[in-house]
Amino acid sequence: MTEVNNTNQKWIIRVEDLVKSYQVVDKNFQILQGLNLFVGPKEIVSIEGSSGVGKSTLLNILGAMDSFDSGIVEVCGVNLKSLTERQKELFRGEKISIIFQQHMLLPDFTALENVMIPMMISGESKTKAKEKASAILGRVGLGERLASFPGQLSGGESARVGVARALVNGKELVLADEPTGNLDRENSRMLMDLIRELQDEMAFSLILVTHDMELASMAHKRNKILSGVLQPFA
């Protein structure tokens, strides 16, 4: 079942006939085979499926972190096929935030400093970055842990710092790769509720790659990858 493209719709993501293959020894393995995906503003869309079907590959392509063989991939109005590697770096910095499963916090920096980093890289003043980082850490319930280092935080707290860092710059697209994958059920639910609440307030589009059926249930559209193509849940 292929989703129909409405040309009058403004898409945050427009993917048509996407093909991606890998060379394994002397064989060409096609992991995505004519995949289509359309995501509108403020939508939450899940990408589900068993291990190895291409979920993370698709996320990496959408995040301009991986190339593809053929098809159309437009993200935030930009044709990714036309970008140089340097342009891809600039595009990611301007348009996309990523929530990682492993949180990717820098161990020698405090929670506050970890959240300040994206803003400092984008040219924000230290004073403004500190102000915004403090505010969003308070928003995710970590106002008392600003000076704590990652090694002093629990798994759930580290996950919330990762969410704060991803969202602090207010970008229109967030890609989340198994954001609850390393958390127990209680912390998974807390993080899921937090992401949903912040998405409602900040109005970004969210792509969720997940094995977690409960997390996927928060999506406006649920999809699964089967045999290299994306199929909506009935």
CATH code, domain with 128: 3.40.50.300
Residue 29 lies in a domain: yes
Residue 3 lies in a domain: no
SS3 state at 225: strand
Per-residue pLDDT tens digits for 89-142: 999 888 999 988 777 899 999 999 999 998 998 888 999 999 999 999 999 999
Residue 123 lies in a domain: yes
- Residue 2: pLDDT band (50, 70, 90) is very low
Residue 85 lies in a domain: yes
Per-residue pLDDT tens digits for 22-52: 888 878 888 999 999 999 999 999 999 888 8
Residue 7 lies in a domain: no
Helix (H) or strand (E) holding 105: none
Contact 166, 97 (CB under 8 A): yes
What is the DSSP secondary structure assignment for residue 154, as one 8-state letter? -
What residues form DSSP beta bridges with 3?
Answer: none
- Residue 5: pLDDT band (50, 70, 90) is low
pTM of the model: 0.88
Q: Look at residue 72 in the predicted model and tell me its pLDDT.
A: 96
Per-residue pLDDT tens digits for 143-156: 999 999 999 999 99
Using alpha carbons, list the distances in angstroms from residue 229 to 1, 161, 168, 186, 205. Answer: 9, 34, 33, 33, 21
Q: With a cut of 50, say whether residue 212 has pLDDT above it.
A: yes
SS3 state at 18: strand
Q: Tell me the average pLDDT across 175-200.
A: 87
Q: Look at residue 3 in the predicted model and tell me its pLDDT.
A: 45
Number of domains in the chain: 1
Q: Look at residue 182 in the predicted model and tell me its pLDDT.
A: 79
Helix (H) or strand (E) holding 106: none
Cβ contacts of residue 229 below 8 Å, gap of 6+?
Answer: 32, 33, 34, 35, 36
Spatial distance between the Cα atoms of 231 and 122, rounded to a whole number of angstroms:
37
Spatial distance between the Cα atoms of 96 and 78, rounded to a whole number of angstroms:
12
CA terminus-to-terminus distance, the chain? 10
Spatial distance between the Cα atoms of 134 and 143, rounded to a whole number of angstroms:
7
Per-residue pLDDT tens digits for 60-84: 999 999 999 999 999 999 999 989 9
Q: Which domain holds residue 214?
A: 13-232
What is the CB neighbour count within 10 angstroms for residue 120? 15
